[in-house]
Amino acid sequence: MANKKKSRDMQGLVVGTILVLVLALGVYGVINQFTGSKQEAADKVYPIDYKGQPFIGKENAPVKIMEFGDFKCPVCKQFHDTIFPRLKKDFVDTGKVSFYFTNTQVIGPDSLTAGEAGEAVFKQNPQAFWKYYDAIYKQQGNENVKWATPAFLVDLIKKNITEVDANKVSEDLTKKTFEKETLADNTKYNNTGINGVPLIMVNGKQIQNGLSYSEIKAAIEKELQAK
């Protein structure tokens, strides 16, 4: 009897050990797959269309950053207020990075109006776009309120961007001159298959946390080293 019990115990032990091993291997495999796919995601290069988009910095800078942003999105404002000035100072003004913007319309219908006004300013004066970029983020209203009306935007331009003809922008908004082009920008964002703005791409590689200066800085330095 005692021996039989002992051998049953042994059997149990063996089966138990095998089970633990199988489980451990499985967990290891899942972790491996997870870190593997995470690395893969970080290395994936998305095709980015820079042509005809607003940018600052040296056109042939070794690193290109594309921001996909919505003027009504609070996190985009946060990016503009806290991360953008540091990137500009450390990398754009030093000739290492050219910084581009593509408008997206994810928050509300007036996201499109704000995008169209930006496009209208850009068409009149490409560098004045960046004054618009600063002014509209500074004056951003509540995301649940329709504040980016043509009247608000034209007034914003009149007060902040004197080198642009605000009446012409007003006309462009009424005629929806740049609606198609602005919607096309949003399609470029949708085509990435990524959900969430601001979406920051460094040489086409996605930054997981757009509000992390250190993550963006590390990605830029990696690209600079690869040159």
| Residue ranges in contact with Ca ion by CB under 5 A | 185
In terms of CB distance, is 70 or 185 closer to Ca ion?
A: 185
Using Cβ positions, the residue closest to Ca ion within the complex turns out to be 185
In terms of CB distance, is 179 or 221 closer to Ca ion?
A: 179
Tokens 């995470």 sit at which residue?
38
* Least spacing, CB of residue 53 vs Ca ion, in Å: 5
For residue 124, what are the contacts with CB-CB under 8 A and spacing of at least 6? 164, 165, 168, 169
What's the angle, vertex CA 29, arms to CA 28 and CA 35, rounded to 5?
90
In terms of CB distance, is 110 or 185 closer to Ca ion?
A: 185
Q: Give me the sign of the Cα torsion angle 134, 135, 139, 142.
A: negative
* Least spacing, CB of residue 190 vs Ca ion, in Å: 14
What's the angle, vertex CA 224, arms to CA 221 and CA 226, rounded to 5?
110
CA distance 147 to 141: 6
CA distance 64 to 202: 6
Question: How distant, in Å, are the alpha carbons of 9, 14, 27, 31, 45 from that of 17?
Answer: 12, 5, 15, 21, 44
* Least spacing, CB of residue 148 vs Ca ion, in Å: 17
CA 204 centroid distance within chain: 11
* Least spacing, CB of residue 24 vs Ca ion, in Å: 52
* Least spacing, CB of residue 187 vs Ca ion, in Å: 11
In terms of CB distance, is 28 or 50 closer to Ca ion?
A: 50
* Least spacing, CB of residue 27 vs Ca ion, in Å: 47
In terms of CB distance, is 69 or 220 closer to Ca ion?
A: 69
In terms of CB distance, is 98 or 223 closer to Ca ion?
A: 98
For residue 96, what are the contacts with CB-CB under 8 A and spacing of at least 6? 61, 62, 63, 220, 224
